[in-house]
Structure formats: structure tokens, C-alpha cells
């Protein structure tokens, strides 16, 4: 019925339709590239649009068209565009979303396209986030560590040592501090763990937790060892043993914890670095806040990140020109403008030296000091990770953090159930 | 049977609670739209903004082309509503009045077709529209909305047609009216409330639709309101809450206004002649 109706209506509407073609235009020797940007904060949209304008002014033969994308549903939207051969030439995304597109042949291998300057400016550890198999399928350009945003007045009054990137808290010390700060209906920390898996796995790198282990045969298995248990156990014990972590925020998003933080209910909130923008905007007048490094473990301040990336569609007929635009967009000064707009850290070593990123204001200096410790998120190149995360790890971590199951049960589920899921993807 | 005062009070209390439940998200949206960032971060949220501000609206209009997007939404939604009703009305009449194996099968298929999830059809649909050169065009999007709304519109209108007594048509025939005259002069006016309700359904469905518009439209100037609203949302669900609420509030207004204007006529029309004086 629907098919028949479709045919009928198609005929009807085709008569009325103002048809337009799509794709990558090249008219009269002038090339038009479509750049889909996911910038969303006013400052970053403005910075990105300005850069596009500057490019267009300097390159009359290669016009870049700014297309506003959205983080919401970007994966499905890109997948459909790729399948339909209508993808933008230059694609803004995040490294943890690239695996399927890279393995699916939708993205261009950038190794032969990028300039030496750009390749050498971004550290190898960042390039690893966009390397799938032998190819490089995106340029990692913005990243954010997880930091502790703290009520400075509260910490000062309590007389606790202020951690710095040079002398961070250890995980046991962090637990002690939150215990000391708690009491009277107030909590030392509020963990916003609506998405518990990425937060736990990324922070676990500090304790040497890898969780995913690749064997000699190239297959990945889950092993929830002692190092992997440090962070989850700390959070669990804070929430269920010490009562120094608010039990109500364990299912909340980062923004949801801010009213309680401003209201003096929580002394600290672990958040992504870019949340500072919201805090700066929403904090009550006179509210003193500071950015502290996340606790350190056996591997120091290491933590996993999935940087924002710029990729080029394999179908683009103008890859060289697209790569030149990416190179322009990610010149050190431009990378700084994008980073400031998004309140994130650039990956480029020269951009990271910019004085604007070393000011104490809004905690920039603390975040910048953490850049050298950021590693690829442990799971992003593991095939089957999204299913493992949604079906196994998320409910298991949620139950563990709420106190419904113990560490042994968590381990059992992550390993036994998890490896069954991963095995299906590695036959 | 008389209802006791206590029971009546209970009924009203339940009704009020239900109304409050339905109104809560909208009232919260309105409240948020007029709050400053500081008030949004307040640990003691209030229904009525302490310092009402229009800054969120200003920012929303500055950041995104809301009016243009609203116009695109209006064109697609109104177009879809009109075309869906024009196609669905005669089809629904046939489905309701001619009880053959074919109409029964068609009715069944209409119901079954509602079960297909969006993601199942989006890629084939994208390819079909691409071959027809209807990607990135409001006409293409309107076509999709028509097709998407048709099954339910058909099912809904068929119900209205069944409610019109066949005797009315027989009486018209006895008076010498032909088939076309019966349909246009007798049945159509009686179906008016149903046609309006179906049109509204198609309009609101298309007005609120997000995913097709996201996937099918590429040019920023052609994007519809729900797509533009997502530009206020960042990675991991972080949102620019004030401007988002302001824009979302404005986006809900057309549906509310249309319903407020038409609602009385719909119910009035539905009840006309229901009871013999």
C-alpha cells in the first residue's frame, strides 16, 4: 500500500517539485567544498565561520561552504549521506565515532594528503586516536581531559591540600579528601555518571587500567584486572561506604550537578574541561571555583580522550583541496581560536604554547598542563565496543555504583558477557 | 445514577492532576526560556523567573536563522497536510464504503506499515530520492512527510467516513443527486471535522519531524526548525539551555495556536447531529 502510494505521490509531486542536485560542485574551474561543522557554542560557531570566510577570501578558486551539523544523530546522518554518496567533503566528528566509517571505506586515508607541518605538529599519541588498521582517517584537533571542578572556598576552609598537575592527589588521597569534606547532607564529590563507561574507562588509564587486551592473533578480550578496579572501587566506596559522593547524581549528566554545586551541596564535580564555559556563565556572583587535575594513579595523570576530528570523505573528488583547507583550519593560531571557542584544548603542540591557554583564569593553565598525559580512549578501536557498552558495561557499572552488585559480579559481567559480545565481532 | 460529591471531587482532582502532568513540560519550558544563565544554575529553581529576561530569545535569533527555518517548516508541514488530506479523503471513502478483500487487505497493510521503524527506511528512501533528484529540496521532504502521514491519515479518515450514516447518501440518491454531487455536497461537509483533524495530525507530525529533515536537507538555508534547534545542543547532550528553551518555546507556538483556533470547530462538528432533538 505504502509503496503504491509512494509511486503515485511521487508522480504527482514531481510535477510540482523544484528539483535540486547535490554533490561536490566544480563549475568553471571553481571548486566548491562542503564542510560540515559540529561547532555549536556561539563562540566556536563564530570562530569557525570566520575561518571559512578567511579561507574563501584567500582562495577564490576553492570555495568552502559551511554546513551546520549537529552532534545529535551525527552518526546516522553521516551514515545515510555516505550510503547515498552525498556526504560533505570535510567532516567534523569525534574519533570514537570514526571506526565504522573508516573500516567501511567511507573516509579517505589522510597519510598522503596532509602536510608535514600538520603531521609533525600533532603528537603521535593523538594520531593514534584516528588510526584504524594501517590508515589515518581523521585529524584530531580538539580534546578535553576530565578535571575536578571545585568549590575553592570550601576546600580552603577545610584546609585540604590543593592538588596541582605537578602534585596531584592519588586516588586513595582523593577518597580521604572527599570523606573529610562530607557531612551534614553535603558531599565531597558529585559524580555525574549518566554515561558511566567512558568516564570510568578513560580515568582508569591513570591507574594503568587497559581493560581491552589485544592478543597475538589480533583479537581483543576484556580483562577486568586490579588496575581496572581502582577507579570503579573508589567511586563505589565513596557513594556506598563513605557516603562522600552524592548517590543521586550517579545517574545524572554533568549539567544536572551544577545547581547543587553552586548551592554548596557538593564540594567537587568531575567534569569535562569544556563545562567551564557553563560554569563561568551560570555561577552565582562571588562563587569561587577552581579547576583541579583528576587524581593520579600508577600511570600518573594519564587519561583517555576521544578528540574532535576533521576527516575527508573518500568520495570527495577534491581531496587535495579539502586537505589544504584542513591544513589552513588547523594552523596553530587558528587551532587556538577554535579551542578557545569550544573551551577545549588543541592537540597541536605549537597551539598549546599559546599564552591564552596558559592563563590561570577559568582554569586554562591546569587543563593545558594535562595535555601531555592524554591518551587514546581505550575502547575506540575495538569493534563491537558500542554494543558491549550499551548492553553489558553500562548496566553493570550502574548497578555496581548504586551498590546493587559487588565487584565480583561486575567483573563477571564485564568479562564473561562482554567477551561473548566482542567475540561475535571478531569471528 | 447520581455521582456523589466526594466522587465528583475526586474526578476533578484526578483531572487537574492529569492536566498538571501534561502541562508541566511546557510550563517548565516557558519558565526556562525567560531565565538568565545564573538563574538556570540556581540550586533553588523557581517556576516564575525572579529576573525575567528576553536575552535567551535575542541569543537564539542571533545564533540561528529561526524565522527562515520556521518558514521552511511551515511550507513542508502545510504542504504535507494539504496533499495528504487530498489523497487520503477519496481513498478513505473507498476503504470505508467498499468492503472487499482488497480494501480489507489495504486497511491491514496501513496498520502494519506503522510498525516499520524510521531507521529501516531511511537509507532506501534516501537512495530513491537521490535518483529522483529530490535530496536537499523541500519538495522532497514534503513528499516524504506525505507518504509518512498517509497510512495513519487514511486509517483516521476511514473511521470518520464510517461514522457518516450510509442512509444520508441513500437519501441524497433518492433526491436525484449523482455520485459526485453526493460526495461533494453531502459527504464532504459531514467529513469536514475529520478532514481538519487529519490535516492537523499531518501538519503537527511534519512540523515536529526531525530525522528525515536532518538526513535529507543539506543546505543550511533549507533546514527546518527541529534541525536548527539541535544546533543548540553539543556533544554528550550538553545544551545551551536558555536559548534552546526560547527557540523551542517559539517552535511550539504554531501548533498551539492552530489547535486553539480549530479545536472548538472540530469538537463542534463531531457532535453536530449526534443527538436527535
Taking alpha carbons only, the member of A299, A292, A125 closest to residue A206 is: A299
- Do β-strands A289-293 and A146-151 pair in parallel, antiparallel, or remain unpaired? antiparallel
**pLDDT confidence band for A12 (50 / 70 / 90):** very low
Query: Domains of chain B (ranges plus CATH)?
Result: 1-53 (no CATH), 56-271 (1.10.3720.10)
For residue B262, the model assigns a pLDDT of: 75
Please list every residue in chain B whose beta carbon sits closer than 8 Å to the beta carbon of residue A1: 106, 109-110, 113, 151
Please list every residue in chain A whose beta carbon sits closer than 8 Å to the beta carbon of residue B215: 76-77, 80-81
**pLDDT confidence band for B213 (50 / 70 / 90):** very high
Q: Which is higher by pLDDT, A385 or B70?
A: B70
The whole-chain average pLDDT of chain B stands at 86
**pLDDT confidence band for B102 (50 / 70 / 90):** confident
Burial of B120 (0-12, 13-18, 19+ CB in 10 A): exposed
d(CA B258, CA B78): 12
**Beta sheet of A187-189, edge-to-edge order:** A187-189, A266-272, A146-151, A289-293
- What is residue A383's DSSP assignment? T
For residue A146, the model assigns a pLDDT of: 96
Whole-number percent of chain A with pLDDT over 90: 77
For residue B168, the model assigns a pLDDT of: 86
Note whether B25 contacts A: Cβ–Cβ < 8 A. Answer: no
Q: Which is higher by pLDDT, A182 or A380?
A: A182
Chain B stretch 41-70, residues whose beta carbon is closer than 8 A to a beta carbon of chain A: 41-45, 59, 62-63
Q: Are A376 and A180 in contact (CB under 8 A)?
A: no
Q: Would you say residue A316 has pLDDT above 70?
A: yes
Q: Express each pLDDT in A336-350 by its tens digit.
A: 999 999 999 999 999
Nearest to A20 among B136, B232, B241 (CB): B136
Q: Do A67 and B220 touch (CB under 8 A)?
A: yes
Element (H, E) at A349: helix A349-352
Q: Express each pLDDT in A139-168 by its tens digit.
A: 999 999 999 999 999 999 999 999 999 999
Q: Please, which residues have CB within 8 angstroms of residue B249's CB and are 6 or more apart in sequence?
A: B29, B30, B33
For residue A28, the model assigns a pLDDT of: 57
What is the distance of C-alpha A271 from the center of its chain?
12
Q: Do B133 and A21 touch (CB under 8 A)?
A: yes
For residue B261, the model assigns a pLDDT of: 77
d(CA B242, CA B259): 26
For residue A22, the model assigns a pLDDT of: 41
CA gyration radius, chain A: 23
The set of cell numbers assigned to B151 is 497510512
d(CA A405, CA B147): 48
Q: Would you say residue A224 has pLDDT above 90?
A: yes
Q: Which is higher by pLDDT, A167 or B2?
A: A167
Q: In chain B, what is the greatest distance between 2 CA atoms, to the nearest angstrom?
A: 74
- Do β-strands A266-272 and A139-143 pair in parallel, antiparallel, or remain unpaired? unpaired
Query: Domains of chain A (ranges plus CATH)?
Result: 24-137+308-346 (3.40.190.10), 146-305+379-425 (3.40.190.10)
Could you give the C-alpha distances from A344 to A38, A70, A138, A307, B241, in angstroms and in order? 14, 18, 18, 10, 19
Give me the residues paired with residue A74 across strands.
none
Q: Which is higher by pLDDT, A254 or B107?
A: A254
Q: Please, which residues have CB within 8 angstroms of residue B186's CB and are 6 or more apart in sequence?
A: B168, B169, B172, B177
Give me the residues paired with residue A305 across strands.
A376
Least confident piece of the model among A373-377, B105-109, B151-155: B105-109
Reported ipTM: the value is 0.71
Q: Which is higher by pLDDT, A198 or A1?
A: A198
Q: Do B139 and A16 touch (CB under 8 A)?
A: yes
Q: Would you say residue A137 has pLDDT above 70?
A: yes
For residue B231, the model assigns a pLDDT of: 87
**pLDDT confidence band for A11 (50 / 70 / 90):** very low
Q: Do A17 and B223 touch (CB under 8 A)?
A: no
Question: Can you tell me which residue has the cell 599559546?
Answer: A354
Instruction: Give the minimum alpha-carbon distance from B249 to chain A in angstroms, rounded to a whole number.
Output: 19
Taking alpha carbons only, the member of A292, A289, A271, A267 closest to residue A181 is: A267
Nearest Cα residue in chain B from A281: B37
For residue A76, the model assigns a pLDDT of: 83
**pLDDT confidence band for A247 (50 / 70 / 90):** very high
**pLDDT confidence band for B247 (50 / 70 / 90):** very high
3-state SS string over chain B? Answer: CCCCHHHHHHHHHHHHHHHHHHHHHHHHHHHHHCCCHHHHCCCCCCCCCCCCCCHHHHHHHHHCCHHHHHHHHHHHHHHHHHHHHHHHHHHHHHHHHCCCHHHHHHHHHHHHHCCCCHHHHHHHHHHHHHHCCCCCCHHHHHHHHHHHHHHHHHHHHHHHHHHCCHHHHHHHHHCCCCHHHHHHHHHHHHHHHHHHHHHHHHHHHHHHCCHHHHHHCCCHHHCCHHHHHHHHECHHHCECHHHHHHHHHHHHHHHHHHHHHHHHHHHHHHHCCCCCC
**pLDDT confidence band for A313 (50 / 70 / 90):** very high
Note whether B166 contacts A: Cβ–Cβ < 8 A. Answer: no
Note whether B106 contacts A: Cβ–Cβ < 8 A. Answer: yes
Q: Which is higher by pLDDT, B115 or A300?
A: A300
The set of cell numbers assigned to B127 is 537512495
Q: Express each pLDDT in B150-163 by its tens digit.
A: 988 888 888 888 88
Taking alpha carbons only, the member of B44, B231, B93 closest to residue A68 is: B231
For residue B243, the model assigns a pLDDT of: 92
**pLDDT confidence band for B275 (50 / 70 / 90):** very low
Taking alpha carbons only, the member of A329, A331, A315, A309 closest to residue A62 is: A329
Q: Express each pLDDT in B20-44 by its tens digit.
A: 898 899 999 999 999 998 888 888 8
Q: Are A64 and A325 in contact (CB under 8 A)?
A: yes
Burial of B15 (0-12, 13-18, 19+ CB in 10 A): exposed
In this prediction, residues A207-216 reach a mean pLDDT of: 92
Taking alpha carbons only, the member of A24, A5, A43 closest to residue A88 is: A24
d(CA A90, CA A55): 14
d(CA A73, CA A188): 35
Nearest Cα residue in chain B from A18: B139
**pLDDT confidence band for B274 (50 / 70 / 90):** very low
Q: Would you say residue B236 has pLDDT above 80?
A: no
Q: Which is higher by pLDDT, A6 or A75?
A: A75
Q: Are B270 and B193 in contact (CB under 8 A)?
A: yes
Q: Express each pLDDT in A14-40 by its tens digit.
A: 333 333 334 455 555 689 999 999 998
d(CA B65, CA A269): 35
Q: Would you say residue B54 has pLDDT above 90?
A: yes
Distance from the first to the final alpha carbon of chain A? 40
- Beta-carbon pairs below 8 A across chains A and B: 163
Q: Would you say residue B276 has pLDDT above 80?
A: no
**pLDDT confidence band for A13 (50 / 70 / 90):** very low
d(CA A197, CA A232): 10
Amino acid at each position: 500500500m505504502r509503496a503504491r502510494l509512494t509511486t503515485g505521490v511521487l508522480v504527482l509531486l514531481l510535477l510540482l517539485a523544484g528539483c535540486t542536485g547535490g554533490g561536490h560542485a566544480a563549475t568553471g574551474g571553481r571548486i566548491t567544498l562542503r564542510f560540515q561543522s559540529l561547532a555549536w557554542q556561539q563562540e566556536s560557531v563564530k570562530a569557525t565561520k570566520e575561518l571559512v570566510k578567511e579561507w574563501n577570501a584567500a582562495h577564490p578558486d576553492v570555495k568552502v561552504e559551511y554546513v551546520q551539523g549537529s552532534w545529535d544523530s551525527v552518526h546516522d546522518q553521516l551514515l545515510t549521506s555516505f550510503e547515498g554518496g552525498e556526504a560533505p567533503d570535510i567532516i567534523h566528528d569525534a574519533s570514537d565515532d570514526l571506526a565504522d566509517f573508516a573500516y567501511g571505506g567511507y573516509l579517505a586515508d589522510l597519510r598522503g594528503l596532509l602536510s608535514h607541518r600538520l603531521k609533525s605538529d600533532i603528537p603521535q599519541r593523538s594520531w593514534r586516536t584516528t588510526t584504524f588498521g594501517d590508515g589515518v582517517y581523521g585529524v584530531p584537533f580538539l580534546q578535553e581531559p576530565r578535571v575536578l571542578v571545585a568549590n575553592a572556598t570550601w576546600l580552603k576552609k577545610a584546609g585540604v591540600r590543593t592538588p596541582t598537575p605537578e602534585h596531584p592527589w592519588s586516588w586513595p588521597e582523593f577518597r580521604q579528601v572527599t570523606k573529610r569534606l562530607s557531612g551534614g547532607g553535603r558531599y565531597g564529590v558529585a559524580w555525574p555518571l549518566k554515561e558511566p563507561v567512558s568516564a570510568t574507562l578513560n580515568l582508569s588509564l591513570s591507574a594503568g587500567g587497559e581493560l581491552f587486551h589485544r592478543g597475538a592473533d589480533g583479537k581483543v578480550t576484556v580483562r577486568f584486572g586490579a588496575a581496572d578496579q581502582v577507579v570503579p572501587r573508589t567511586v563505589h566506596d565513596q557513594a556506598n561506604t563513605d557516603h562522600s559522593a552524592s548517590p543521586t547524581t550517579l545517574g545524572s549528566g554533568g549539567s544536572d550537578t551544577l545547581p547543587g554545586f553552586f548551592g554548596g551541596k557538593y564540594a567537587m564535580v568531575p567534569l569535562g574541561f569544556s563545562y567551564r564555559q557553563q560554569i563561568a556563565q551560570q555561577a552565582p556572583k562571588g562563587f569561587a571555583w577552581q579547576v583541579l587535575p583528576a587524581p593520579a594513579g600508577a600511570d600518573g595523570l594519564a587519561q583517555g580522550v576521544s578528540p574532535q576530528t576533521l576527516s575527508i570523505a573518500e568520495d570527495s573528488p577534491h581531496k587535495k583541496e579539502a586537505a589544504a583547507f584542513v591544513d589552513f583550519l588547523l594552523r596553530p593560531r587558528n587551532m587556538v581560536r577554535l579551542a578557545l571557542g569550544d573551551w577545549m584544548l588543541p592537540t597541536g603542540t605549537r597551539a598549546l604554547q599559546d599564552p591564552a591557554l596558559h592563563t590561570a583564569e577559568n582554569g586554562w593553565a591546569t587543563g593545558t598542563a594535562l595535555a601531555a598525559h592524554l591518551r587514546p580512549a581505550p575502547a575506540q578501536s575495538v569493534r563491537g565496543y558500542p554494543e558491549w557498552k550499551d548492553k553489558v558495561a553500562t548496566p553493570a557499572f550502574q548497578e555496581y555504583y548504586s551498590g546493587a552488585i559487588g565487584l565480583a559480579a561486575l567483573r563477571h559481567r564485564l568479562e564473561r558477557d562482554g567477551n561473548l559480545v566482542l567475540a561475535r565481532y571478531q569471528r | 445514577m447520581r455521582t456523589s460529591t466526594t466522587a465528583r471531587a475526586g474526578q476533578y482532582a484526578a483531572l487537574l492532576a492529569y492536566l498538571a502532568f501534561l502541562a508541566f513540560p511546557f510550563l517548565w519550558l516557558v519558565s526556562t526560556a525567560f531565565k538568565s544563565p545564573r538563574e538556570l544554575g540556581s540550586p533553588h529553581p523557581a517556576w516564575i523567573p525572579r529576573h525575567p529576561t528576553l536575552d535567551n530569545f535575542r541569543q537564539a535569533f542571533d545564533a540561528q536563522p529561526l524565522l527562515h527555518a520556521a518558514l521552511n517548516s511551515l511550507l513542508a508541514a502545510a504542504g504535507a497536510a494539504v496533499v495528504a488530506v487530498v489523497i487520503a479523503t477519496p481513498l478513505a471513502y473507498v476503504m470505508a464504503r467498499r468492503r472487499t478483500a482488497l480494501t480489507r487487505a489495504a486497511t491491514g497493510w496501513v496498520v502494519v506499515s506503522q510498525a516499520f521503524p524510521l531507521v529501516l527506511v531511511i537509507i532506501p528512501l534516501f537512495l530513491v530520492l537521490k535518483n529522483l533528484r529530490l535530496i536537499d529540496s523541500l519538495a522532497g521532504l514534503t513528499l516524504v512527510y506525505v507518504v509518512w502521514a498517509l497510512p495513519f491519515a487514511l486509517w483516521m479518515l476511514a473511521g470518520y467516513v464510517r461514522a457518516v450514516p450510509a442512509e444520508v447518501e441513500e437519501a441524497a440518491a433518492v433526491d436525484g443527486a449523482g455520485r459526485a454531487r453526493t460526495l461533494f455536497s453531502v459527504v464532504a461537509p459531514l467529513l469536514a471535522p475529520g478532514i481538519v483533524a487529519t490535516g492537523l495530525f499531518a501538519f503537527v507530525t511534519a512540523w515536529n519531524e526531525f530525522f528525515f529533515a536532518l538526513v535529507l536537507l543539506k543546505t543550511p538555508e533549507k533546514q527546518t526548525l527541529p534541525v536548527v534547534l539541535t544546533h543548540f545542543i553539543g556533544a554528550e547532550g550538553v545544551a545551551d539551555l536558555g536559548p534552546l528553551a526560547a527557540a523551542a518555546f517559539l517552535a511550539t507556538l504554531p501548533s498551539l495556536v492552530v489547535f486553539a483556533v480549530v479545536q472548538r470547530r472540530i469538537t463542534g462538528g463531531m457532535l453536530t447531529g449526534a443527538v436527535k432533538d
